[in-house]
Amino acid sequence: MSTESNYRKWWKEGVVYQIYPRSFQDSTGNGIGDLRGIINRLDYIKSLGVDIIWLNPIYESPNDDNGYDISDYRSILADFGLMKDFEELLDGLHQRGLKLVMDLVVNHCSDEHQWFKSSRSSRDSLHRDFYHWWPAEKGVPPKRWSYFDVASNAWQYDETTDAYYLHYFSVKQPDLNWENPALRKEIYDMMHFWFKKGVDGFRMDVISFLSKEKPYPQLPENYTPEQYISFYAKGPQLHNYLNEMHNEVLKHYDAMTVGEAPGVTLENALDFVDEDREELNMFFHFDLMGLDRAEGEVFKMNPNGWKLGEFKKVFSDWDAVFAKKGWGSLFLSNHDFPRTVSRWGNDTAEHWRNATTLLHTFLLTMRGTPYFYNGDEIGMTNIRFENIEEYRDINTINKYKQLQELGEDLQEFIEDQKEAGRDNARTPMQWSDDINAGFTTGTPWISVNENHRGKVSVKVQEEDQYSPLQYFRKMVSIRKEHIGLVYGQYELIDSNNEQVYAYLRSWNQDRFLVMLNFSTETLTYSLPKEINYNANKLIISNDRVRDDKTYKEFMLRPYQAVVYKLI
Ligand code: GLC
């Protein structure tokens, strides 16, 4: 690794803040967040110290999957505003020195997109080959699993042309046929359109699924969802398409790219992000997101929970992959997963504050680009809906229908969704302790978490110097002050400890020691003898520390996080 200028990049040193527009701030009173709402909150966003904003999809969409079903890639969803609002938002971000990364959803689009309407109208349509069709005269197509389909079947029969179309997600999200060069050209043109407007990059939705193996081979009968995903991520042309996209579009801009990459493994990671291959800058793997899930499942919790040793192993193994080439991304949650503190920390009244700030410390002291999901900075928690009627997410609603049809235990499912459901992350941003948390003056599209009346709001936390929000700002500025926390080598200490996650970060002469007590107990923690130093300098902690600069034995309170510089 070198300090050469070609190694240092803005997208490596930046902190990303993900905004879910539907839930961030409503400015019209219709209960749905919008672009004007984000514009009104730009100073708050800037005050966090973050550098890059990733916006979930804001394009025209019938909202079967909250915008991940796009019906026009070049226009803005009316609920969110107009193109001129978008331009104002982009300007407002750039004026503040912030970058904007858009969501690029091109594995599939909406069945209401003009291309699909034309494609399904006739077997001779100009757009027929923009999608994957299986003519019914060939019989039932080889089974493919679908994430959101009530019957988990990714082939939907369509009467008009007596054929089935492929949809890895909902029936309203037909997969685009990347094997067709005319489709690829349309997508590249559309990407140029957004770059020319000034956007700074793309987060690429399920990018690992782009290439499909044709003709669609039979797969083993007993494949689990996880096995399907790993098959979907190995399409034969995937890397050719990513390389082509790089040459046709990305290399013409100073762009940041991060692919959402289910099914990608430690072994093939560098095929995506090795700089010499000219594909992507970064991607999101799913090893951590799978850690607390039932065997072979994507969204169901494992009742046995997760172990700290496994958590450390995920981060350590992935760090090692990118130690010499490529670059990693770090995230603990996003719009598809439960809330960070509820999942990886502890959201009880006693531990919520320390657990939230411990997780801030963790993500901001690791190597890779950290991504924070809106609301996590103030420690928003899972809402844990009691009834199916409160859910808005197609994933939860369709799984419920599926279990209902199968006569399965629905109460067990509701209990599971309290911890696993995606809507936990989609409840409105908690700005204040006012009605609807200051998100809307109307009726919110999804319920607001009641704890906005307590400590979990921006307003209350602005006034409390010990709040998660204030700690977040401080921790971000510490990462900025110490470039070693961005690029420094990572070394895990004491890998088997199930309560403390401790590691060193080293960069030239600088060495940082990070100790995180992931338990509810007060511990005495001793460093291994090999770690030599004369004195330590406290950089930050989320709780009181003993003032002894030569100490090698530390007292760590429940969910305490401490960062020292070793001298
Ligand atoms: C990605 C998105 C998720 C969406 C799915 C289908 O996983 O993050 O929200 O439902 O793709 O587009």
Cβ of 65 closer than 6 Å to ligand 1, yes or no, is yes
Residue 323 has pLDDT above 80, yes or no: yes
Q: How far is the CA of 560 from the centre of ligand 1 (A)?
A: 34
3-state secondary structure 259-305: EECCCCCCCCCHHHHCHHHCCCCEEECCCCCCCCECCCCCCCECCCC
What confidence category does residue 551 fall into, taking pLDDT thresholds of 50, 70 and 90? confident
The amino acid sitting at 151 is: A
Residue 3 has pLDDT above 60, yes or no: no
State yes or no: is 205 an active-site residue. yes
Q: What pLDDT, on a 0 to 100 scale, did the predictor assign at position 1?
A: 47
Q: What pLDDT, on a 0 to 100 scale, did the predictor assign at position 5?
A: 61
Tell me which H or E stretch contains 102.
strand 99-104
546: buried, middle or exposed (CB in 10 Å: 19+, 13-18, 0-12)?
exposed
State yes or no: is 510 an active-site residue. no
Structure tokens at 435: 């009605």
Backbone angles phi, psi at 60, to 5 degrees: -60, 135
Cβ of 200 closer than 6 Å to ligand 1, yes or no, is no
Q: How far is the CA of 497 from the centre of ligand 1 (A)?
A: 35
Helix/strand/coil for 164: strand
What confidence category does residue 8 fall into, taking pLDDT thresholds of 50, 70 and 90? very high
Cβ of 260 closer than 6 Å to ligand 1, yes or no, is yes
Taking only the tens place, the pLDDT of each residue in 437-455 is: 999 999 999 999 999 999 9
CA angle 28, 31, 35 (to 5 degrees): 50
Taking only the tens place, the pLDDT of each residue in 267-313 is: 999 999 999 999 999 999 999 999 999 998 888 999 999 999 999 99
Name which residue sits closest to atom 3 of ligand 1, judged by CA: 336
Q: What pLDDT, on a 0 to 100 scale, did the predictor assign at position 550?
A: 75
Structure tokens at 230: 């790993």
Instruction: Decide if 63 contacts 73 (C-beta within 8 A).
Output: no
DSSP secondary structure of 37-87: HHHHTHHHHHHTT--EEEEPP-EE---TTTTSS-SEEEEE-TTT--HHHHH
The amino acid sitting at 405 is: E
Percentage above 90 pLDDT, the chain: 96
CA angle 264, 265, 269 (to 5 degrees): 80
Taking only the tens place, the pLDDT of each residue in 193-249 is: 999 999 999 999 999 999 999 999 999 999 999 999 999 999 999 999 999 999 999
Task: Give which of 454, 327, 440, 338 is closest to 385, Cα–Cα.
Answer: 338
DSSP state letter for 228: H
The whole model's pTM is what?
Answer: 0.98
Q: Which of 18, 206, 398 to mutate to test the pocket of ligand 1 (most atoms within 8 A of CB)?
A: 206
- Which residue carries 């003898």 as its tokens? 529
- CB-CB neighbours of 24 under 10 Å: 23
Hey, what domains does the chain have and what are their CATH numbers? 114-166 (3.90.400.10), 489-566 (2.60.40.1180)
Q: Which of 71, 169, 298 to mutate to test the pocket of ligand 1 (most atoms within 8 A of CB)?
A: 169
Instruction: Decide if 204 contacts 104 (C-beta within 8 A).
Output: yes
- Biggest alpha carbon distance in the chain? 79
